[in-house]
A and B are shown apart, each in its own frame.
Chain A
Amino acid sequence: MSKKTFERLRMVIAVALAGIVSISVVQQNFIIPIAAAVTAVVIMLGARKRVSEVIDDERDYKNAGDAARWTISIFAIGSAIMAMVFMALRASNSVFEILGQTLAYSACFVMLLQSALFSWFQKNGGKTDN
């Protein structure tokens, strides 16, 4: 399979998945979108193995790492600030307290997950194909 065919397939699957999820949400069915997402992942993994050209390389992995690091930093700082703002406004509406707590816990979870994965990669260090 060529890279172009793979990219077309990826686009078709993304559109189909978006459609299935939208319809399922309207119909309040939560099993179909999960099944569709799993199927899409399996199809994409299978198709990826059949591509003869290089899809991504070490520069992509490095850029993905940099992007992930920036994303976590921005998300954590942004969430912390927004959580404090929402908590400060909780007297006016109780919804703000829920929003603030959700954001704060989400940021904590992301940072904990990042720390755990970072420790794992440090211990199993430097194992890369590049």
Chain B
Amino acid sequence: MAEKLITRIKEYRAKTDMTQERLAQLVGVRRETIVFVEQGKYVPSLRLANDIAKAFGVPIEELFIFKKAD
């Protein structure tokens, strides 16, 4: 069964007042990649997911949630 990726990156960015550009710089990717990850259109590698979680100081499972598609 297909699963949908839901991320809370946008929420955490708002909390920490961090721009997509800044997050992209911190984790070493292009801003567009952050946009796609935020929208759940791109499933990041374990390393990138870990780096993003580290940037916010939270565990990976706090940011990335897989939900079963209806």
Contacts and interface: CB of A to CB of B under 8 A. Distances in A.
A59 B25 CA distance: 15
Contact of B47 (A56, A60, A130): A130
Interface residues of A, number: 8
A48 B45 CA distance: 24
B16 to A, nearest CB: 21
A54 B42 contact: no
Contact of A58 (B24, B25, B48): B48
B26 to A, nearest CB: 11
Contacts of A58: 29, 33, 44-45, 48
Contacts of B42: 59
A74 to B, nearest CB: 24
Interface residues of B, number: 13
Which of A54, A56, A59 has the most chain B CB atoms closer than 10 A to its own CB? A59
Contacts, number: 26
A59 B45 CA distance: 9
Contacts of B24: 54
A57 B36 CA distance: 13
A26 B44 CA distance: 49
Contact of A130 (B25, B32, B48): B48
B36 A59 contact: yes
26 contacts: A54-B24, A54-B25, A54-B28, A54-B29, A54-B30, A56-B30, A57-B28, A57-B29, A57-B30, A57-B33, A58-B29, A58-B33, A58-B44, A58-B45, A58-B48, A59-B29, A59-B30, A59-B32, A59-B33, A59-B36, A59-B42, A60-B30, A128-B45, A130-B45, A130-B47, A130-B48
